[in-house]
Structure 1
Amino acid sequence: MRIERASWVMMLASCLLSSSLLAQSPQQLEPFSSERTVRGLLNGEPTVLVVNGYSTSFRWPGILQQKINRLLGPNVVEVRSALKGGTPISGWIDLETGQRRKPWTQILKPKLRNDKGNRPVIVLAQQSLQGAFGRRSIGIRGANDYRGIDFGAEALQLYANALQEDGADEVLISTHIYKHPMEPEIGNESLALDALMQQKPLGIHRGPDLWKPTKQNYPRAFARDGVHPNQFGAELMAQQWFEVLLQHQLELSAKKSRTPQ
């Protein structure tokens, strides 16, 4: 059976990944409530992965799809891209009112539709808090910027909750890759994600840390502008997401039997 084949392929893939181009280990995700059923995400069951982000994510979703297809075969897990250049979280949703902006309603929400029945819809949010504090150059100043960290955590939760309201079963969040002209504020976005994860929000989980490996590979992983990932950078990002997805335990609830939206 496909699921049985996927199980031993996953074990082999996990071993091979230890010698991959990345020396980085994915972070462990928070445990789930014992009251809810869990299963491995990449276990051969039909699933939809929706990548939400902007110009730094134009390349890696297609690479991720190829990796998953090699593991499970085609037409098992579908990777959808809901992307718009120059559009971090504050460009998708009003962080004061929660109102969805035009990119959300026109690009993102249609991709959240479960149009083939019982497939879980998981959002892979490769996002940023740029613009959340006003000008894009303003951000979290450091570990002692408690107001900035709290505001950033609230912004991430508002965004993730809106995704769940509009069809996502679960949301995995990663913050921005290394951005040489805007450090340390970009790297400090992870402090807001840390604060959110400490609250153990239901159905919201940490994605891979992409800031560290992209910083370690600067400028090798970047295009000539020094900001956007090149092909190597995209491969690096896809690999990090793939490793996290191999370990992710998908939380199943009554939503698993919902009808198409």
Structure 2
Amino acid sequence: MTINRTAMIDFVDSRIAQTSDPKHVRQLKVLRAHMLAEVDEDVDALLATISPTRQDADAHLLAVRRERPARRRGDLFLGIARDAVTVGGVSAGGSLAAVVALMARDLDGPAIALQLLEAAGTDLTKTSSAWRHPRSEHDTTREADLAMIDLCLSSLAERAHPSASPLFAPSLDGVAPAYLINAEFDPRRDECEACAARLPDAGVQAVGRTLPGHVHGSFGLPDWQPARDWRAAANAVLASANAAARAGRPVPLTAL
């Protein structure tokens, strides 16, 4: 399968023109900027849409840290149910969420109810079989991805650090339960599946799903039913996790 990226951008443009929801328009514009940067091979523009850094992770952790005073279940802080904190993201955002979950464990952060990791890059060394054996359906190549990563992390040691590649954390014991969704034709698929396998070995509840027919980012297509199914699954996981956490019950990932 060959992906016509220009046609996909035209499709996103048509959706922007038809959409009145401001939040949806913002999301579509970020998606369009990301796709256009890939077509133009503009690494700086691409980084502007996805650039996670250690400072970003620190800021996310500070945003969700629990207050020190004693509190009751169900109390709110800044409008947030502190017993139902979840972290998640797509692509680089998923990587960032996994790093925040590690930091929450290691730095006495909040008790996170769930990590929702969608098409997450958990190994920035790009050493998996999928990266080394590219397919025509893949959205990028190992060389192109490493060229982008090298602008932020220029050595193998930096790329392999758990703050960049959470898959390489020495231990995953005690991190939050995780739900991982990845795409059949995404070169990041191997590292998502490896992460889904390592977590149960560490005693952490985890579910990994590889959705057929998807490439990296195709979950954002508004009128494609498999993309709707992806988003519906993610929303159902979050709703179930939040309801269980607020009620003081374990998150029922195996039921989803």
Length-normalised TM-score, structure 1? 0.35
Greater relative contact order, per chain length (Cα 8 Å cut-off, separation 6+)? 1
Bigger helix fraction: 2
Length-normalised TM-score, structure 2? 0.35
